[in-house]
Amino acid sequence: MFEEPFRWMEAISTRHSYVQEKLAKGQPVIGVPYKEGALLLGFSPQPGKVFEVYDRIAMGGLGHPADVEKLRMTLLDMAHLEGFNRSAQDVTIARLLQFGIAPSLKQNFEEVMRAPYLAQLLLAELDPEGRPGFYRLNYDGYFEKLKNGGAIAGSEKVRKWIDKKVEETPFATFPLDKALKEVCKLWEEGKQQAVPKDEKNEVDDDTSITLKDAFEKWNLEAAVLCSKASKKSIYRTLDAKEIETLKSAVTKK
């Protein structure tokens, strides 16, 4: 195989198709700025959708839970090593991606005899001035900076639709409660983009699920990086009361 470039390229194409098929039913994670920082939100059948990585860095994951956890631990170890060798201020998503995890993912994906990672990551951070930043990392090591936030999703169509709506919405001016409601709305409407219009009455799987269904069926995981936090850690998850308030606000008809 390695002596024949065409066969290697064919194997890589097959790996892309395989991973994309495995990720197809993954539930979106959306990251946006809000008035006091950055917000990450997603629904999941099991805990393990949104995490803290370092003092000013959070991540959301989509894909196989074991692969998402492995990548989280890799980022965590890299962040602590970077902070120890340099300083906490030098620990940024850009450095962790460019000089660490992205090259490793690319190498793993191109070694066709190894199992590829079944995961995508959405990372958020606040810089020392409190400005939010977002990055998207793909399973093959490709990463990109998202100017105003964005999403990861199993469906490329859903992801692009959510990205477009995030770009058009002034999330940075919203208080947290309004940002949460708008993100939930985008999550629900984005899911509908994967359903062909002439089949919406026939589809009964996770693709056509509503917000009400999602709250009843899955766990909502949401966390913020808040520049106004009074303690050292600016990361916090939404508590049960906040989630219940959000549920009541977005599912009432």
Structure tokens belonging to residue 89: 């201020």
Q: What is the pLDDT of residue 167?
A: 96
Residue whose entry in the numeric block shows the structure tokens 């699920």:
209
Nearest to 186 by CA among 149, 218, 217, 219: 149
CA atoms of 19 and 13, how far apart (whole Å):
10
CA atoms of 137 and 241, how far apart (whole Å):
32
Determine phi and psi for 17, rounding to 5 degrees. Answer: -65, -40
- Helix, strand counts (H, E) of the chain: 8, 10
Q: May I ask the CATH architecture of the domain 25-248? A: 4-Layer Sandwich (3.60)
Q: What is the pLDDT of residue 253?
A: 59
CA atoms of 181 and 183, how far apart (whole Å):
6
Residue whose entry in the numeric block shows the structure tokens 């009400």:
212
Q: What is the pLDDT of residue 203?
A: 45
Q: What is the pLDDT of residue 206?
A: 63
Q: What is the pLDDT of residue 42?
A: 96
Q: What is the pLDDT of residue 38?
A: 97
Q: What is the pLDDT of residue 89?
A: 85
Nearest to 149 by CA among 165, 134, 130: 134
Mean pLDDT by 10 residues, the chain (253 residues): 72 94 94 96 90 94 95 95 88 94 95 93 93 96 95 94 96 96 95 68 60 92 89 87 94 75
In the sheet with 57-63, reading across from the earlier edge strand, the strands are 50-54, 57-63, 119-126, 132-137, 143-146
Q: What is the pLDDT of residue 196?
A: 65
Domain boundaries, the chain: 25-248
Q: What is the pLDDT of residue 123?
A: 97
Buried b / exposed e along 141-172 (16+ C-beta atoms within 10 A): bebeebebbbbbbbbeebbebbbebbeebebb
Contacts of 215 (CB under 8 A, 6+ apart): 247, 251
